[in-house]
Amino acid sequence: MATAAPAKKTGIEAEAVLGKAYDVRLIRRVSKYIRPHAHLLGIWVVCMLTTIGFELAQPYLFMYSLQHHIMTGKIDALPLDAALYVGLVICQNISSFLEQWVLQLAGQRTMHGLRIAIFDHVLAQRAAFFDRIPVGRLMTRMTNDIESLNEMFAQGAITLIADAVKAVIIVVVMLGLDVELSLMTLATLPLVIVLVEYARRAMRKSFRQIRVRLAAMNAFAQEHLSGIRVVQLLGRGKIAQREYDEINAGHRDAYLLQIRADAAMYALVDAIGRIATALIVWWASGHQAQNIATVAIVVVFIEYINKFFVPIRDLSAKYAVMQGAMAASERIFQLLDTEEFDGAVYASTTKPDDDPAVHDSGPAIELAGVHFSYGAEPVLRGVDLRVPRGATVAVVGATGSGKSTVIKLLTRLYERDRGAICIDGVDVRDIPLDELRRRITVVSQDVTLFAGSLADNIALGKSYDAARLDEAVKRVGLDRALVRRGTDTSAKVAERGANFSAGERQLVAFARALLRDPEILVLDEATAHVDPEAEELIERGVAELMKGRTTLVIAHRLSTIRNSDLIVVMDKGQIVEQGTHDELVANGGLYAALEKTFRRQE
């Protein structure tokens, strides 16, 4: 089971550290999102106190009725007593409904704000962030962890506050009725404290194992569902089922300690409550002289004892909720504490030059001594490149030579380690990200489509008139592809564009680029998956699009490279050759060897 081990290791490394069940620091951070809805919590406090008042008044009314009416034979007053009792029950339920409704409303509004904050924050991260953190884990943060935090409102910290207030009020009422009986009841609390501490330790240990197993299970499922075609085509289904069953069994077994602790606490707290009741009955047996008062006091104390021990009995479940909520909030705020990539994080190495004459005379794109590495191994080693304004420059080289990395640094998906990258003489770090990416449009071989209409996928949230969108569709030949399938731009796109072929998805990507009318166009293997018929349509549209624009082309197709104004050859993170197609072929260097490979591929 060697393949399952890495997932488990990842889960342990990512999820093993847990905080306290109640962490003041985390609560303060959560309170930032609660504060806008503080008025709802104020209403909840009023409803909570009202509910407790109506609930605790019921045993007292019963004691009064028993002592003054039932045991004294004043039967005529019982209908009024019954009506008052029913009224208290109805009022309690109405107040309880309002209490829960307001609490859940505050919780949902708080979680809504937190979800928006996390989503916006994740979208602001640079590409290296997504290389480090699996998408499945980010989805867990934005869904499962938020839901765990939401449970804190329904079953955790907030309800614990209500339970504590009710317990204090019960103790005060009991002391007001009879100090001796109250002290006898409270004498059982040390047993409860020992039991709660035991359950807390056991459940904390169990919860740690549960989070580790759950992380491993989610990672394994996400990996295999993402690669489902490989799993099915290469017959890995049975092996994957067996490995998932092992991880799932570990997750199931991790719950056993929590179940045992929860069951033991429920039963033992209930038993302690019975002991307290037995002490009250034993006390009553020695007070026969005050028969009526004794019976009434005993009855009401038994009622209050039951109400006192019920929240303690349920404490283990609420502790688990609080433990989960604090662990979830810790992971959420770790994510929110990740440095945002907003274009102002890094210091600039050059100053913007506002002289238009400099911009007109200088290169459109310039790389000077650029170094970059994804990890320990350098990917770019001192790249120097000048792209003239309006020129078409092709960048070629073997896989891993650093071609696509140049594009990622140009668009600031990643930040260079050293050197300078300028557009029109201005360092890209001095250009706001939205402006930079408005001036540069990248079309890659991996085209992502989103569920919705085809028109929405071309516009991608930008406001364009229908005429411009239709023009872009026609110029790339996408209209012909749509006619063949009997649809138009209103056609529905399935998740990830599953109902579109690879060639059609590439045509959509070109329509996006045409619609944006960029200053700089980047084609990153953009025709790699396009069939010859679609490529012919694209080449006509792209040729028109490239007029008057600076274009960078990364391609392996000779037809795409041959007509470029300049061809740059990269090898092992360095530029080793530059020139036109004919010049480089005549030199007989690396490009000449690559050209033969390109020719065979076509």
| Domains in the chain with CATH codes | 4-8+21-336 (1.20.1560.10), 389-411+432-601 (3.40.50.300)
Spatial neighbors of 264 by CB under 8 A, at least 6 apart, are 195, 199
3-class state of residue 314 by DSSP: coil
Lowest mean pLDDT among 302-316, 329-343, 348-362, 382-396: 348-362
- Residue 339, pLDDT score: 67
Distance CA 476, CA 543 (A): 10
- Residue 508, pLDDT score: 83
Mean pLDDT across 182-203: 80
Q: Is it the case that residue 565 has pLDDT exceeding 60? A: yes
Backbone angles phi, psi at 385, to 5 degrees: -150, 135
**Taking a C-beta distance cutoff of 8 angstroms, is the pair 141, 114 a contact?**
no
Q: Is it the case that residue 75 has pLDDT exceeding 60? A: yes
- Residue 67, pLDDT score: 77
- Residue 572, pLDDT score: 87
**Taking a C-beta distance cutoff of 8 angstroms, is the pair 510, 546 a contact?**
no
Distance CA 598, CA 602 (A): 6
Question: Would strands 492-493 and 452-453 be described as parallel, antiparallel, or unpaired?
Answer: antiparallel
Say what angle helices 179-186 and 237-285 make with each other, to 10 degrees: 150
Is the pTM value of this prediction over 0.75? Answer: no
Q: Render pLDDT for 250-295 as a digit per residue (tens, 0 to 9).
A: 888 887 877 887 777 778 888 888 888 888 878 777 665 456 667 7
Lowest mean pLDDT among 30-34, 87-91, 381-385, 453-457: 453-457
Greatest mean pLDDT among 20-34, 195-209, 317-331, 434-448 lies in 434-448
- Residue 88, pLDDT score: 93
Q: Is it the case that residue 588 has pLDDT exceeding 80? A: yes
342 confidence band (pLDDT: 50, 70, 90): very low
Q: Render pLDDT for 498-548 as a digit per residue (tens, 0 to 9).
A: 777 777 788 888 888 888 888 888 888 766 555 666 666 666 666 766 777
- Residue 360, pLDDT score: 54
Q: Is it the case that residue 418 has pLDDT exceeding 80? A: yes
Lowest mean pLDDT among 256-260, 326-330, 337-341, 512-516: 337-341
Distance CA 163, CA 51 (A): 12
> Whats the size of the chain, residue-wise?
602
User: Mean pLDDT in the chain?
Assistant: 78
**Taking a C-beta distance cutoff of 8 angstroms, is the pair 365, 550 a contact?**
yes
Lowest mean pLDDT among 6-20, 83-97, 261-275: 6-20
Lowest mean pLDDT among 44-53, 345-354, 384-393, 440-449: 345-354
Q: Is it the case that residue 550 has pLDDT exceeding 70? A: yes
